[in-house]
C-alpha cells in the first residue's frame, strides 16, 4: 500500500517518520513546513495535495483545523482532485465532527472512503509511535487502514461511524483540560499553604487522584517548563469545537466553558504557544505564588 501524508508540523513530521520506518513508501506535502527531514529518510516530496493523492492508495491528513483540512481535501489542488476511486482518506486532524461528516459526504461522491482518526498523546508519543488513535468510519475501511495506523499508535480503536473519532477526541480534550485545571488549583492551594508541591505530588500520585495527565504535567510545572507538547492555542481550538458541538446537541458544559475562558486569558497574556499545563499560570497569578520545586 502506497501512503500519502499531508501536514508535517510538530505531530505530523513524527507520525510520517514512523509510517516510513514501518516499511511503507511515502509521498508527502506541506504548504508551510519543511519536508527536508522526511525526504532525507526516503519519502517523495510533491508540490500539492492533489499530487499526493495521485501517488497514493491511502492519504493521511494531519492539519491544524477545519479550514486547513477542507482546503487540503476539497480545494482545486486538493486530495479529491487527484483521487482515484478506492482511495482512502484518513484525517488525523482534530476538527469538528460535523466537518468530518461533510468531508465524508464529498468523498463518497468521488468513490473515495474516509475515516476520521484524531490522536491523543502529544509530540512525545508521536515520536515514539505510541499515540492513542480514535477512529470513526466504516468498519471494513478501518480494518484496511489499521496496519498503517498501528505504525503511529499503540492504541488504535474503532469507535463508530464517521465523526465518532472526533467526538471521542472532544471528550478526551474536555478531560485533559479540566484535569490540568484541577491539578493547577490543587497545587496552587498547597503552595500557598506552605506545603512543598513536589512532596504533595509524590504523596498523591499513586492514589485515586493520580492520573496520566498529572504524571505528565506536574513535573513540567515544578520545573517551570512550559515548552509545548500540546499548545494552549490548539487546545483552545479543540474546546471551541467542543462548545460548538455542545450547542448543536443542546448539552450544557459549564466547566468546559470556564476552562475555555481561563485559556483565553492566558493567550491574551501572550502564552498561546505555551504547553497547556500553563493553565497553572492563571491560578498562580491570582494567588501570587509559583508552583515550583
Distances (CA, A) of 209 to 172, 182, 196, 201: 17, 10, 17, 10
CA atoms within 13 A on the CB side of 3: 26
- Cα–Cα distances (Å) from 196 to 149, 200, 221, 224, in that order, read 42, 6, 13, 15
End-to-end Cα separation, the chain, in angstroms: 50
CA 199 to chain centroid, in Å, comes to 32
Q: Tell me which residues are annotated as active site.
A: 169
- 121 conformational bin, left if phi > 0, alpha if psi -120 to 50, beta if neither: left
How far is residue 272's CA from residue 258's CA, in Å, rounded to a whole number?
17
- Do the beta carbons of residue 159 and residue 134 sit within 8 Å? yes
Cell numbers at residue 289, please?
505564588
Amino acid at each position: 500500500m502506497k501512503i500519502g501524508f499531508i501536514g508535517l508540523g510538530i505531530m505530523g513530521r513524527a507520525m510520517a517518520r514512523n509510517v516510513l520506518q514501518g516499511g511503507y513508501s511515502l509521498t508527502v506535502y506541506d504548504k508551510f513546513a519543511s519536508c527536508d527531514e522526511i525526504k532525507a529518510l526516503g519519502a517523495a516530496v510533491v508540490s500539492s495535495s492533489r499530487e499526493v493523492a495521485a501517488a497514493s492508495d491511502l492519504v493521511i491528513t494531519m492539519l491544524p483545523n477545519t479550514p486547513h483540512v477542507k482546503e487540503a481535501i476539497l480545494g482545486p489542488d486538493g486530495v479529491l482532485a487527484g483521487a482515484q476511486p478506492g482511495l482512502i482518506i484518513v484525517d488525523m486532524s482534530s476538527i469538528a465532527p460535523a466537518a468530518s461528516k461533510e468531508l465524508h459526504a464529498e468523498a463518497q461522491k468521488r468513490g473515495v472512503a474516509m475515516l476520521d482518526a484524531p490522536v491523543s498523546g502529544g509530540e512525545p508519543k508521536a515520536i515514539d509511535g505510541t499515540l492513542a488513535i480514535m477512529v470513526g468510519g466504516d468498519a471494513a475501511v478501518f480494518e484496511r487502514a489499521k496496519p498503517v495506523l498501528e505504525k503511529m499508535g499503540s492504541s488504535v480503536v474503532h469507535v463508530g461511524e464517521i465523526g465518532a473519532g472526533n467526538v471521542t477526541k472532544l471528550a478526551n480534550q474536555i478531560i485533559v483540560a479540566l484535569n490540568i485545571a484541577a491539578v493547577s488549583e490543587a497545587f496552587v492551594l498547597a503552595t500557598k499553604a506552605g506545603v512543598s508541591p513536589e512532596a504533595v505530588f509524590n504523596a498523591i500520585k499513586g492514589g485515586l487522584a493520580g492520573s496520566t495527565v498529572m504524571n505528565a504535567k506536574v513535573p513540567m510545572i515544578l520545573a517551570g517548563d512550559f515548552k509545548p507538547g500540546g499548545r494552549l492555542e490548539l487546545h483552545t481550538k479543540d474546546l471551541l469545537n467542543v462548545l460548538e458541538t455542545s450547542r448543536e446537541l443542546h448539552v450544557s458544559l459549564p466547566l468546559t466553558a470556564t476552562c475555555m475562558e481561563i485559556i483565553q486569558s492566558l493567550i491574551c497574556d501572550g502564552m498561546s504557544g505555551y504547553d497547556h499545563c500553563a493553565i497553572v499560570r492563571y491560578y498562580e497569578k491570582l494567588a501570587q505564588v509559583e508552583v515550583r520545586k
